[in-house]
Structure 1
Amino acid sequence: MQELSQRALYEAAAEGLRVLAADPRCLAAAGNPGSALREILAPAALRYVLAPGREEFLQALSVLRAKGYAVTAEFVGEAGAGAAHGERTAEEYLALLGRQPAPERLGVDLFRLGLATSRAGAVRRAARILAAAEERGGEVVLGMDRSPTVDAVLGVHRQLADRYANLGLTLQAHLHRTEEDIRRVARPGRMIRLVKGEFREPPEVALGRGPALDDRYLDLARRLVDRGVRLSLATQDPDLLAEAVRAGLVGRDTEIEMLHGVRPELLRHHREAGRPCRIHAAYGTDWLPHLLRRLAEHPPMVLTALSDLGSRRAQPAGTGY
């Protein structure tokens, strides 16, 4: 009973963090580069956002690679929307790909490329990034957002997947629709990143956190492996990962992926056991939503965040890994 109560408390705390991450007043308060809130929270954010700028990110990236991890790079630049913001985001990815060695995988949020205002513009920008990544032997994995946006992301994926073999996709296990989506998008050799799903959805749309979602996650992972995809098990849940290992789901074409800064000791455990491991690492200055969502992934890390604020020091790259 005590364990269930603690889990319920963690889930409630996680939901509170997600509410803050979606509150425009909270985001606006930290959006100004000169804001006091931004300055106060920066040490905590830099545990989860690998660096504020490209050069620092590339230096930290080399540290993680040297430790034996594959890395996905995601740019979380300044807050904004629309065509101009989408162009700046695309140009940053292209500049990153122009460096040596370039990241082998990019995580791209289509809404940061302007999908909310122009599908054609977002498709054009994503295609430029895909082409540049393809030239360097890299790949691009599209992120997912709340359920009302899933069809828009799938539409872009469908439009580009036949042209670019290096295009991957994130799927959310908690959505009831995902089993049917797998039938449409899972092809041999394609990259699929399977997450539980971080956004709270109505029960008619998605499962809440708990044993039923864990069972569904493993079932969907089996279906994806059976379809011959290259699968990334993107979760920080130790019990779920242990079950995936026992079920033989982790191997040559299936890796374990975790968000940078969230439970690094758990990912290190799997790497030391010889399993392929990946770190999803963000960089940029629009980090408040990222910070709050990372804490929501593992609410006890709020205490670590407070410790970071108290020390006023950012953690060195690779800490805990």
Structure 2
Amino acid sequence: MLVDRLSRWLFLTAADSRLLKAAATRYGMRGPGSPAGRFIGGRDIPEAIESARALEQRGMTHTFNYLGEHVRTTDAAAEATMAYERVIDEVRAAGMECNLSIKLTQLGLELDPGLCEANLEQILDRAGASGCFVRVDMEHSALLEETLRITVAAHARHPDVGTVLQSMLRRTPDDLARLNEAGVPVRLVKGAYREEPDIAFPEKRDVDRAFIRLAETMLEDGAEPAFGTHDPRMIRAVNTAAAARGISAERYEFQMLYGVRRDLQAALGARGYGIRIYLPFGADWFPYFMRRLAERPANVLFVVRSLLHEQLGAHRP
């Protein structure tokens, strides 16, 4: 629908705005009751660990993401690298499973790929010593080839390294074959970045069809397949494909975003499916939050209701 496309364009444009990001960072999340707080697991590592414990109590696993991307200085890349090392240390000290999701632009990919690789290697050395799995998040398609190159090379040295592929991109079947051959674990998502029609499918139905075809390939040939979706139709398709191939629920998992479709998370967990929650935290929350609003109209409605509730509450005697 035209309205949905315009809404998606608006929020993705906002996600890329440095001015809006700077203003939002100064404004902050205003505590756990804020609209953004619904989708962000905390402002720092202790708050993120607290959120992760709550997920574990509900029978779910998690992957920590220290929010940030597109750093502009080598110092910022080094700071992000050290932050992830602290995450590994503090999560392990808390006696919890350690699973990370990292964006390479946060480690300096756009500044110097060699610097980025060195920073990633530093994190992976610490992660390997702690038994921590690291997944390299996928970003805009312009960064895809370099991200895949770095990830495949890192996986050859550190087996507990995976990445993400987007069904919206036309090239993804070839990329999946490459990663399956290398034994790299993949999380399949639909995608949340603005792309040109010659690079990505513009129609949702084509993105969905691609997701199902790719999911079938992952179930047949992939290493530790994971499916990042909140779409009940995609979930049913994955489960149907798995059942048809005699693949048990223990051999794959669904990965969902913190604060999104918590009802669905609970329902799938109750049925015995593995549920891992993408748990973002930190001050650099604005681009992530905008992409979540772009993905689902229900997220926008939640924010509007929260703001109305806040305003009405503020004016009550």
Matched, 1:172 2:162: no
Q: Give the share of equivalent positions with the same residue, in percent.
A: 25
Mapping 1:223-238, distance limit 5 Å: 223-238=217-232
1:102-159 deviations in whole A, cap 9, x for unaligned?
Answer: 4421000000011110111111111121122222222100011111110111121132
Comparing 243-252 with 199-208, greater Cα deviation is found at 243-252
Aligned equivalent of 1:116: 110
Tell me, what secondary structure is at the counterpart of 1:247? helix
Q: CA deviation at 1:39?
A: 5.1
1:137-190 deviations in whole A, cap 9, x for unaligned?
Answer: 221000111111101111211321210101101111111111111121114753
Tell me, what secondary structure is at the counterpart of 1:25? helix
Aligned equivalent of 2:264: 266
**How many residues were matched structurally?**
304
Q: CA deviation at 1:10?
A: 3.2
Mapping 1:221-260, distance limit 5 Å: 221-248=215-242, 251-260=249-258
Tell me, what secondary structure is at the counterpart of 1:43? coil
Q: CA deviation at 1:215?
A: 1.3
When the two chains are superposed, the root-mean-square deviation of aligned CA atoms in Å is 2.3
Aligned equivalent of 1:154: 148
Aligned equivalent of 1:317: none
Residue from 109, 124, 127 that aligns with 1:130: 124
Residue from 65, 84, 89 that aligns with 2:56: 65
Aligned equivalent of 1:74: 65
- The aligned amino acid for 1:265 is D
- The aligned amino acid for 2:286 is L
Report the TM-score, using the length of structure 2 for normalisation: 0.89
Contact 1:187 1:229 survives alignment (8 Å): no
Report the TM-score, using the length of structure 1 for normalisation: 0.88
Contact 2:216 2:238 survives alignment (8 Å): no
Aligned equivalent of 2:200: 206
What is the distance in 1 between the residues matched to 2:182 and 2:80?
Answer: 30
1:31-74 deviations in whole A, cap 9, x for unaligned?
Answer: 3x3x4x86599811111111001111111111111111110000
What is the distance in 2 between the residues matched to 1:74 and 1:260?
Answer: 11
What is the distance in 2 between the residues matched to 1:16 and 1:94?
Answer: 35
What is the distance in 2 between the residues matched to 1:153 and 1:90?
Answer: 17
Residue from 177, 191, 194 that aligns with 2:188: 194
Tell me, what secondary structure is at the counterpart of 1:153? helix
Q: CA deviation at 1:228?
A: 3.5
Q: CA deviation at 1:308?
A: 2.7
Contact 1:188 1:228 survives alignment (8 Å): no
- The aligned amino acid for 2:274 is P
What is the distance in 1 between the residues matched to 2:33 and 2:118?
Answer: 34
What is the distance in 2 between the residues matched to 1:81 and 1:42?
Answer: 31
What is the distance in 2 between the residues matched to 1:78 and 1:110?
Answer: 8
Aligned equivalent of 1:279: 277
The structure with the largest helix share of the pair is 2
Contact 1:195 1:233 survives alignment (8 Å): yes
What is the distance in 2 between the residues matched to 1:283 and 1:115?
Answer: 21
Distance 1:197 1:235, change over 3 A: same
What is the distance in 2 between the residues matched to 1:287 and 1:312?
Answer: 20
Distance 1:12 1:272, change over 3 A: farther
What is the distance in 2 between the residues matched to 1:224 and 1:79?
Answer: 30
Aligned equivalent of 2:98: 104
What is the distance in 1 between the residues matched to 2:241 and 2:274?
Answer: 16
Q: CA deviation at 1:23?
A: 2.2
Distance 1:207 1:41, change over 3 A: farther
- The aligned amino acid for 2:101 is G
Contact 2:189 2:227 survives alignment (8 Å): yes
What is the distance in 2 between the residues matched to 1:253 and 1:53?
Answer: 33
Tell me, what secondary structure is at the counterpart of 1:162? helix
